[in-house]
A and B are shown apart, each in its own frame.
With several copies, the nearest count.
Chain A
Amino acid sequence: MSILLARASRVLVQGLTGREGSFHTEQMKAYGTDVVAGVSPGKGGSTHLGVPVYDTVAEAVRVSRAEVTGIFVPAPFAADAIMEAAAAGIALIVCITEGIPLYDMVRARAFVLDAGVRLIGPNCPGLVTAGEAKVGIIPNHINRQGTVGIVSRSGTLTYEVIQGLSQAGCGQTTSVGIGGDPILGLSFSEVLRLFKDDAATRAVVMIGEIGGSDEEHAAEEVIGPGFGKPVIGFISGRTAPPGKRMGHAGAIISGNTGTAASKLQALKRAGAEVCDTIEEVVAATVAAVGQPSSAAPR
């Protein structure tokens, strides 16, 4: 089993006909994802990469019964795309787009919450359920089916961990990149709760970074004796100078929370195993799940 996404998930792509949308739709299909529809306003009725294109998400959902969407539209239009998906009855929205204005996201997130829909991202690599399906941009070849859940705020570091684990013979259930923006959909806490309830997941790797206090909240609210599975934690940005901004506003250090020290301490206090490097993360995870998964890599 896995969380959020499975082989049977019917996937829509918003911005299908764009450059990024096209490239990654091909990759998703190559991974086995059931891409049932695309949306590009004004191109309804055509077919792109063998996928039927609709003018609106409402129409696409009505016809294709898509449940999950991947959003690859440019930043000025991405928040609107998120809300369109939520209003049309999509259950899981994965927004890859980077650079969405924060006020747009604040509104879109409130909208999504009102609609009772799950949002992953924005500015995230998406998610993969190893060996089953992928929505987003995580490279196909690094994933391997197994028993480790991954949740991460950093896109590229997620790939490092997945690859490291796969190479060590330690496969994954689902790998979720929740995104690095200040205003996000699913938080660490929410994804960790899903892993907690997933029978197939035997250990969880959690990759945080400086800024915000989602890691602290997850440590306090979810991780701990009741969690019942080993959590291996890692925080990047430990040597970042305080106060300087590092790319995403997500890395702005605010008050006493948000520092690497505060996050590491909270994770330790909650009983997570905290590591210094990705190599250590891999080693600790392999140790935690006992022996390497026997499933073949793909």
Chain B
Amino acid sequence: MKFLEYQVKERFKAAGIPVPDGRLARTPDEAVLAAGALGPIAIKAQVPAGGRGKAGGIKLAKTPMEAKRAASEILGMTIKGFKVREVWCETAQEITREFYLGLTLDRDARKPVLILSAQGGMEIEEVAESHPAAIARLHADPWRGPLPFEVRDLIFRAGLGPLQGQLAPFINRLYALARSFDALTIEINPLALTRDGGLVATDGKLEIDENAIFRHKDLHGADDSDDDPLEAEAKRRKLTYVRLDGSIGVIGNGAGLVMNTLDLVQREGGRAANFLDIGGGAKAEVVHSALELINSDPNVKGILINIFGGITRGDEVARGVIDASRDLGLTVPLVVRLTGTREDEGRRLLQEAGITPKSTATEAAHTVVELAREASR
């Protein structure tokens, strides 16, 4: 789950991490009110994507009139596919230096890692590549968290020793926030040193582990798929779905198998319209729901279902396919490959319903690409 900048800053503030004063505006007039209340402000497009600045999604406004003009320009823009519906108006900061502070899970080290750099701002990834020594890292023990001496050491290694007293609580609060929200990634960038010597989080990112959402049922993040009705619908159906740019609808169980199915479709000269993983142990209704979703995509010219059951049972899959075929009145060719747990029963059910399953994924991919090509002629 991802969050918009202002949602992240609300959480920072609640966790004791200073952020600039700000207000949300959905219209240019609301931005005028914000400028009236706050003085000179930065007006920032609220979209769940990076690179807003370069796209013109951030503007400074010294007066309410300037705020109106800037907000008018930004509201309604499309940035990386996301329409700007809200802007965050916050007190403009007099910044003397910009740092980077982030936390992510390092899958190789299998630990959370805190990252601190005296060279913050937009180019942090470039810094990481060109001056790796400018990026100080601290792998926290997952039980102990970052200890005071480790945080001190991190700060001195980043060359920020003189700011130790101010930075250490920032780092501890960031870690506590990450833990309490099961954050996969949390970033303060830039972490700004202002003219008056204070530290303030002028931008932030937060992404929460979807697996841990059951612990955070009251959290509402950014809807990062609201501009794609199919992705939104898939989310509602709790299906792991990603839209792609081809014409073969792909349904499978297990990310590796689905990814491999995409590869096979491409080898056969086709291109997948989507990635859809029904996961392990899916019931007939899930298969039904997945087929219904794919069938509603006008780009789809053929559907490939590739199931190798372990925890998923062949009979459940077959029932879902049969019911969906009957209920949906499919007009595009459907190719099913079914093997694994309860394979015999599943295949028998399919045969009885007039669907002949393929026995290998390659054969199934070949057939669906062929049939889709014929159907399109």
- Asked if the two chains touch in their complex, CB atoms less than 8 Å apart, one says yes
Among B22-30, B183-191, B320-328, which stretch is in contact with chain A?
B183-191
B349: interface (CB < 8 Å):
no
* Chain B contact residues, majority secondary structure: mixed
Q: CB-CB contacts of A67-88 with B at 8 A, as 1s and 0s?
A: 0000000011100110110010
**B residues in contact with A44, CB < 8 Å:** 156, 161
Q: Are A153 and B256 in contact (CB under 8 A)?
A: yes
Contact B260 A157 (CB under 8 A): yes
**Is A168's CB within 8 Å of the partner chain B?**
no
Chain B residues within an 8 Å CB radius of A245: 242
Q: 1/0 contact trace for B130-154 toward A, CB 8 Å?
A: 0000010100011110011110110
Q: Is the CB of B339 within 8 A of A103?
A: no
Q: Which residue of A lies closest to B306 (CB)?
A: A156
Does B48 lie within 8 Å of A246, measured CB to CB?
A: yes
Docked-complex contact B149 and A139, CB < 8 angstroms: no
Query: Do the beta carbons of A246 and B105 come within 8 Å of each other?
Result: no
Query: Contact: B148 with A249, CB < 8 Å?
Result: no
- Contacting residue for B209 out of A84, A101, A138, A211, CB 8 A: A101
Q: Taking each of A136, A137, A249, which has the highest tally of chain B beta carbons within 10 Å of its own beta carbon?
A: A249
CB-based contact B105/A182 at 8 Å: yes
Flag the segment in B11-19, B83-91, B307-315 that touches A: B307-315
Q: Are A107 and B263 in touch, CB under 8 angstroms?
A: no
**Which residues of B92-139 are within 8 A (CB) of A?**
100, 102-108, 110-113, 115, 124-125, 128-129, 135, 137
Residue with the highest number of chain A CB atoms closer than 10 Å, among B211, B244, B308:
B211
Q: Which residues of B contact A250 (CB under 8 A)?
A: 104, 107, 185, 255
Is B254 an interface position by the 8 A CB rule?
yes
Give chain B's interface residue range (CB within 8 Å of chain A): 35 or more
Complex contact B125–A110 (CB within 8 A): no
What 1/0 mask marks residues of chain A from 50 to 82 whose CB sits below 8 Å from any chain B CB?
000001111100000000000000011100110
Interface residues of A (CB under 8 A from B): 20, 24, 27, 41-42, 44, 55-59, 75-77, 80-81, 83-84, 87, 96, 98-104, 106-107, 109-111, 125, 136-139, 141-142, 152-157, 159-160, 163, 180, 182-184, 207, 209-214, 217, 236-241, 244-255, 276-279
B residues in contact (CB < 8 Å) with A:
2, 48-50, 100, 102-108, 110-113, 115, 124-125, 128-129, 135, 137, 141-144, 147-150, 152-153, 156, 161-162, 164, 179, 182, 184-187, 189, 205, 207, 209-212, 214-215, 224, 240, 242, 244, 252-260, 262-264, 266-267, 272, 275, 277, 279-281, 308-311, 339-341, 343, 360-362
